[in-house]
Amino acid sequence: MLRHIRKLSLILMITAFFSTAQAEDSITARIIGGLEVGTGSLPFVVALLDTDRGSTEYVQQFCGGTLIDNTWVLTAAHCFDDLSAPYSNLKVMAGSVDLSTTAAGVHETLSVSNVHIHPLYNPSTFNNDIALIELSSSVITGSPVDYVSTAAFPYYTTGLYALVAGWGSTTYPSPYVYPGTMRDVSVPMVDDTICGSVYSNYTTKMVCAGYADGGRDSCYGDSGGPLLSTDGTDFAVIGVVSFGDGCAVAGYYGVYTKVSEFTAWIEGYTGALATSPTFTPVNTAVFGPLNTPTTPVVTSGGGGGGGGCSAVGEGSPIGFILMLSAAGIYFIRRRFQ
């Protein structure tokens, strides 16, 4: 898999101050311990493509996103740390779970007219890690997610299961395996107090999900993709894959941007969206008809954060690292470079 090596910020947190350096590596995030998504499922999940990476969608994919309107995609701000306007090399693939399918009519690749990064996004802490992509034309083959989370949509209850989806790595640590077909995995919401004890940069603009014993998580290449609440029929995007410590490692949960904190900002660009879901979410780790079971590949090592797309390891993609000297923890974005 082609990867670009890019110079990125390395921030060393030592007690009361930061020192900045430069690091070279790349970042990616993909689903670990999940299931392959069936054709036609999750039609609102899109792949972000960088055409400078190669000639195929499989190689070009570096982040995910959620179609929230026919011309708007919700994603993570850190996906654009190494890209800049006019974003001529940025494309959005919609309408397919398969990155390797190129037959006409199966999916479409759309150009981007603008990218709106949250003005308070902090690349050092991942706070306000959210962005909107404005498409040049309306999506035809995909369809927007049913609902966008608001404060009146409190499906962040500890223990309630949510679904995260993307084209990220299915293994951690290396060697990494990147499937051509989208996968998803269900992860339980984790109490903010617990997540705050794991990640010192955790804020009220974030939400945490995953398993204490690891094994299931997002990983390299999943950044920007959705964390979803569902009743098995309707879906609401409640989070955006942001960061974590490794992938699917015990004791380290995935961190997501909390969408309900940004509804007003989102609608300031998109106009009114469907934000009043009426369904009761399914509180189960198995969502049934969405998936075709496959055998997950999970290996030990590193820290794992569900819902993000970062990892540290030999040959792993790393776009940004926060190194806590006291704890020896590496926080990395989960995007594919």
Residue 310: both structure tokens together:
């970062």
Q: Give the C-alpha separation, 318 to 299, whole Å.
A: 19
Residue 285 and residue 306 in contact, taking contact as beta carbons nearer than 8 Å:
no
Of 26, 96, 223, 260, catalytic: 223
- Is 4 in the active site? no
Q: Give the C-alpha separation, 32 to 48, whole Å.
A: 20
Of 50, 78, 98, 316, catalytic: 78
Q: Give the C-alpha separation, 323 to 331, whole Å.
A: 7
Bridge-based pairing of strands 17-25 and 61-69 is unpaired
Count the helices and strands in the chain (H runs, E runs).
3, 19
Of 81, 129, 217, 245, catalytic: 129
- Is 129 in the active site? yes
Residue 333 and residue 201 in contact, taking contact as beta carbons nearer than 8 Å:
no
- How big, in percent rounded to 5, are the helix, strand and coil portions of the chain? 10, 35, 55
Bridge-based pairing of strands 235-244 and 147-148 is parallel
- Is 223 in the active site? yes
Residue 57: both structure tokens together:
């969608």
The string of DSSP letters for 159-191 reads T-EEEEEES--S-SSSSP---SB-EEEEEEEE-
Q: Give the C-alpha separation, 101 to 107, whole Å.
A: 8
Map residue 87 onto helix, strand or coil: coil
Active-site positions? Answer: 78, 129, 223
